[in-house]
Amino acid sequence: AQTVTQSQPEMSVQEAETVTLSCTYDTSENNYYLFWYKQPPSRQMILVIRQEAYKQQNATENRFSVNFQKAAKSFSLKISDSQLGDTAMYFCAFPYGGSQGNLIFGKGTKLSVKP
Amino acid sequence: NAGVTQTPKFQVLKTGQSMTLQCAQDMNHEYMSWYRQDPGMGLRLIHYSVGAGITDQGEVPNGYNVSRSTTEDFPLRLLSAAPSQTSVYFCASRDRGYSPLHFGNGTRLTVT
């Protein structure tokens, strides 16, 4: 079975510091994408970043970057210069069944950014 | 561009009542899906559709029905509400290939 595991239910970080959220997954596929979504208290689901498995270069979106290790099936999210607005639930997601498949989500990491 | 529109935002039902959660998207996406979100459980797939007239079950389909008569609309029906269906429900759509999901703003449903 294909699974997505987020091992940190809650984390906290001081404003302006860096934090890394971990995600591991299990798949037998070779070509796929991975996603990180953010859910602030407003409940809205917001795409943060995505990584293409066939690319060795790690994806970066402003202060957000990933450390993608395909062989280890690891997909961590690094948030640099944390801001109060980064306080949210963060979900790692992976599509099983190939490009036509459904996203399965990890259980999430609740991140609190403290002033 | 409205994206994915879900209604209502909040709903309270009594056990045994039925209702329909509405979902519409204006991006001409073939793929649409419904998830439920419960504390500590992440998002779990209820039903999905890969095009008009085609639907299939996800991980937690019991107690829910869907239909897809048009590309734009994908309503979720609760046949006989139970307290276990108290949850936040999200509708989502995406384009072909490895495209990200676009989510509606969610519906908080409480069944008493």
H, E, C per residue of chain A: CCEEECCCCEEEEECCCCEEECCEEECCCCCCEEEEEEECCCCCCEEEEEEECCCCCCCEECCEEEEEECCCCEEEEEECCCCHHHCEEEEEEEEECHHHCEEEECCCEEEEEEC
B92 — pLDDT class (breaks 50, 70, 90):
very high
Minimal CA separation from A3 to chain B, in Å:
12
pLDDT of the residue at A53: 87
Residue A102 has pLDDT above 90, yes or no: no
Return the bridge partners of A66, or none. A77
Percent of chain B exceeding pLDDT 70 equals 99
Buried b (16+ CB within 10 A) or exposed e, A69-79: eeeebebbbbb
Mean pLDDT on B57-85: 96
pLDDT of the residue at B18: 96
CA atoms within 13 A on the CB side of A103: 33
Decide if B100 and A35 are in contact by the 8 Å CB cutoff: yes
Residue B1 has pLDDT above 70, yes or no: no
Instruction: Work out whether the CA dihedral A56, A61, A63, A64 comes out positive or negative.
Output: negative
Mean pLDDT on A49-73: 92
In chain B, % helix, strand, coil (3-state, to 5) comes to 5, 55, 45
In the three-class reduction of DSSP (H, G, I as helix; E, B as strand; rest coil), residue B21 is classed as strand
Residue A99 has pLDDT above 70, yes or no: no
Decide if B50 and A95 are in contact by the 8 Å CB cutoff: no
- Provide, as residue numbers in chain A, all residues whose Cβ is less than 8 Å from the Cβ of B103: 44-45
Minimal CA separation from A110 to chain B, in Å:
10
- The mean predicted confidence, pLDDT, of chain A is 92
Mean pLDDT on A67-86: 95
Minimal CA separation from A51 to chain B, in Å:
10
Q: Could you say which of A43, A99, A102 has the minimum Cβ distance to residue B98? A: A99
Mean pLDDT on A75-100: 91
Among A103, A52, A109, which Cα is nearest to A77's?
A109
- The mean predicted confidence, pLDDT, of chain B is 95
pLDDT of the residue at B46: 96
**Tens digits of per-residue pLDDT, A23-45?**
999 888 878 889 999 999 999 99
**Tens digits of per-residue pLDDT, B22-55?**
999 999 999 999 999 998 889 999 999 999 999 9
